[in-house]
Chains A and B, each alone.
Chain A
Amino acid sequence: MTPAPVPTTRFLPTVSALVRKDLLLERRTRETLTAMVLFSLSTFVVFHYALDRSSLDGDLASGVLWVTLLFAAVLAIGRLFVTEAEQGGFDGFLLAPVDRTALFVAKALVLCAFLIVLELILVPAFAVLLLGPGLGQALPELVAVLLLANVGIAVIGTLVGAIGVQTRSRDLIVPLLALPLIIPLLIAGAEATAPLLLDGGAEPLPGRWLAVLALYDGVFGLLAYAVFDFLLED
């Protein structure tokens, strides 16, 4: 029965415990990832018919890929805090002698992980279903852009998810808030990947978009980290 230790010394173990719990839950239920993947594949089919094209390249390909990713992300964001809200998880966490910002970091990591897994399936599917030119050489650069964007989406998604979960109209608020905030990421991502997907052969990645993504990630990361605590207290 020793007195509780000062929370900050156990930040990483706390984050680790939270992440492992969420990944374990997802592995047990497989709800979120399955929904994300199926929804994205369906979206590709919709695009095929809506655009009446079998093969996309350049700007159009870039746009379709990013929009699909965005919608799948919004799905995941809506689910991110659901177990906490429904099964009293917030209380369980709030009662623990831990730094509360660990929840923010943990949830952002989980969301980022979901997005990465989604992209591992989505990008090949996209290459097969809709993309005209091959991916080959452009792949590393595509991966870099996706990773940077994932971090930004994860940060914003965690923040919006946490705001939304305490409101009455949770399923409405989350997409409404998330979309405008993610649009700049979408713009940067789409502009960055458009030259990579050109029919005539991939062109080099315009570096400034990576800078924009990194800047956005950094600013929002710090901001979200700073305000998250206020969302949990009562």
Chain B
Amino acid sequence: MFGRGLTALSLFTALTLTTAFALVFFYAPNDADQGFIQKIFYVHVPMAIVALIGFVIGGWYGLKYLRKGDRADDLRSYVAIHLSLILGVGVLITGSIWAKAAWGHWWVWDEPTLVSFLIVFLLFACYQPLRFSIDDHERQARYAAVFAVVGGAFVPLNFMAVRLAESFVHPRLGTTGDSMPGSMRLTFLIAIIGMAALYATLWRYELASKNATFQLRALRRRLGGDEDSLPRRSAAPQVLS
């Protein structure tokens, strides 16, 4: 059900990422002020954009779960947020490296986007502890979905509030886009597509893997009688029905 087209998708991702890499190293211009290290922008920003969209997707599936009760939606919500958190760590690390290289500090509070991202990350980092602390599976799924919906709504609101507050040192994509030369724009575009494809591949992979585990467990249960073959506590969704 979930693993369809995984091979094709993986190949596409590999291809796009390799192209992006090549473009970054050989095609995109070196930044006049920041030098070579500015190229981390092609990793940092696409990662951030995809992670944030991932959080919102998690909220979307959370909403679907609340309305329909289909556990598959809960699983999708979990995977979306889970992957976005992993990307989020990458965003914060690459952002930090970029800050150090460009402005001499490992962290700067002047960029609204980076600070907003940190706040969103801190919020969603509570997702798994929250799930883990609720034993009953159905309640866990329901509460996680409520959290995902609230978190998803929080993302745009938070960015708006922080942006209003801080000075605009962090190059915003909009203005940068206007003054981006064609070579930069193309590289950036490919980088985003590559990152999105990576996310989609990991997403599909994790869903397929979890689904396989559930089916195996269900089979084992059916063969071995009505025994409890689940780990006692878990943050991840455990069943599909």
Contact = CB atoms under 8 A, between A and B. Distances in A.
In-complex A–B contact (CB below 8 Å)? yes
Interface of A: 159, 163, 166-169, 172-173, 176-177, 179-181, 183-184, 187-188, 191, 208-209, 212, 215-216, 219-220, 223-224, 227, 230-231, 233-234
Given A176-B126, A184-B157, A167 B133 contact: yes
Contacts of B6: none
A173 B158 CA distance: 20
B139 A234 contact: yes
Contact of B130 (A167, A187, A208, A219): A167
A224 B139 CA distance: 18
A3 B135 CA distance: 37
Contacts of B122: 179-180
Contacts of A179: 122
Nearest to B134: A167
A231 B62 CA distance: 13
Contacts, number: 84
Contact of A184 (B129, B134, B139, B161): B161
B161 A212 contact: yes
A177 B157 CA distance: 16
Contacts of B119: 180, 183-184
14 contacts: A172-B129, A176-B129, A180-B126, A183-B119, A184-B157, A184-B161, A191-B164, A208-B164, A209-B164, A212-B161, A220-B150, A227-B66, A230-B142, A234-B139
Given A163-B146, A223-B149, A181 B154 contact: yes
A168 B123 contact: no
Given A163-B147, A230-B145, A180 B120 contact: yes
